Structures are given as C-alpha cells and as structure tokens.
Amino acid sequence: MLSFLRNLAVVIILTPLIFTFQLIKILYLFCKPVLRILGWVRYEETEIKDQNAPLLPAFYRRRFALALGDILYRRHNINCDSYELKVAIDSHRREQLFNALLKETGMQINQDLQTQASHLLKSWLNGFSPEHSAFFYHSANAGIVRDAIAFECVRVVFLIRCMVIFNLIDESRAWFILFLNAQRAQDCFDSWTDFAYAYANGRAAWTAHTGQGGPSQRAKMEVEHYLATHNGNWQTLPWNAVRIFDPEHIPKSAPPV
C-alpha cells in the first residue's frame, strides 16, 4: 500500500512537469524563426545546404538568360549590367538598333510590326528566318551543330530584347522564350568559355555560308576580350550554378520583380 502511494505521488508530481516541458518545446518550435531574426538562436549546421556555395546575384536566371547576348549588346553599345529587358537608349542608338532588328528578322516597315513579331516568335528555334533554318542543316552536314547553336542562342536573346525595347512583343512571352534559350545553352555547353568560342566559330561559319566574305576573326577577338573583362557577366556569373527551371531562392533584400 505504501509503495502504491509512493508511485502515485511520483506520477502526480511528474505529469505536470512532463506536460509543461512538451508545451515549452512546441512553443519553441513555433517561435524559432522569430528567435533567429532576433539573433537568440543560431542556425544548425544541418540546416545550411552548402556553406561553400557561391552567392548568386538577385534574379540570377534573368541575368544569365540576358547575358548570353552580351557580345551583341556591346557591339551596339547597350548596357549589359541588367536583369531587365528594357534599357535606356538614346535616339541615335534606337534608330541603329531598329534598323538592325529589321535587317536581321526581315520584318517590313510598311506592315504591322507587332503582328510580324508575334509570328516570328513561333520560329525562334529556327533562327527567325528560312536562311538560318537552312544554316542549321548546313551545320549538321559540316559537323558544327554546337557552333551553330551558340551563334543562334546569342541572336535569339538580342533580337527578342530588341522586340521588347520597341514594344513589339509582351515581356512575359519574351521571358518564356529567353529561359528556354538559356536552358538550351546550359544543356549544350560547359562554361562561358566553351559557349564563347563556339559562338565565334558559328559566326565565322555563318559569314562564310552566306557569302559575306572570308573567315573573320572579329567574333573571336570580341569574345576573348570579353572573357578577359574582370567585371563582365561572363566572368562574374556562374555558368551552371542553378538550372534555369529549378526553384530559386530570392533574397529579401533583392529589388522587386
């Protein structure tokens, strides 16, 4: 009887303590994020995925997708340091850019440009024109498909960005194609250097294919100079740090989309 009473007393005493401990544990789990912000709780090692992973710039995917066209932006004196499609351009450069867009796409100024641009988007994989589609077949026969893909990746970014700058297509449609184009580049090339030299070879092949002259070293010199530019996107942006269609964490301090 005495033993039973002793055990009963222990249960009566311990039950509230156990309940209180479990309640405190539950409250702690709910309040843990707030305590972290206040600096009262440190992150555990297991909660950090990779402490040595490179810190990606805000909106890495947008910057990467646009950076594929940096060589042509530089040729037309367009700012490369942006994750926005539209950039400020003076009237003289706007005229030059508009003429380049018409020449590269074959759009006619005397017809509705928005309708023509919308139709062109459907053929972006073929380079926006029958001539570039034929160039792919030529490249396949010549064994330089990767060079042709790099050349077209650069053109796609440049031309679509021009279409947005002149309000010919909607930005949401433009970003969808630009992300697909960026994923294509990531799938086909291993680094900015690999991509850059393939583009230079592809442009030289296109020049020869279209009879615009003999082999040109201009593109090769351009990519070599840009690859050596220490603050250029091809130096600062990781090539394959994040897959284009994988989820990405956007830091709270980043500007709004």
Note the pLDDT tens digit of each residue in 124-155. 877 777 788 788 888 888 888 899 999 999 99
pLDDT at 7: 60
* pLDDT over threshold 60, residue 47: no
* pLDDT over threshold 90, residue 38: no
If you count them, how many residues does the chain have? 257
Mean pLDDT of the chain: 77
Ordered alpha helix ranges (H), the chain: 2-37, 60-67, 70-75, 91-105, 113-121, 130-142, 145-165, 171-188, 192-209, 218-227, 233-236
Note the pLDDT tens digit of each residue in 170-216. 999 999 999 999 999 999 999 999 999 999 999 988 888 777 665 56
Residue 162 has phi, psi (to 5 degrees) of: -60, -40
Note the pLDDT tens digit of each residue in 2-24. 565 566 565 566 566 565 655 56
* pLDDT over threshold 70, residue 255: no
* pLDDT over threshold 60, residue 31: no
**pTM score of the predicted model:** 0.71
Q: Which helix (H) or strand (E) holds 57?
A: none
* pLDDT over threshold 60, residue 66: yes
Where are the chain's structural domains? 2-47, 60-236
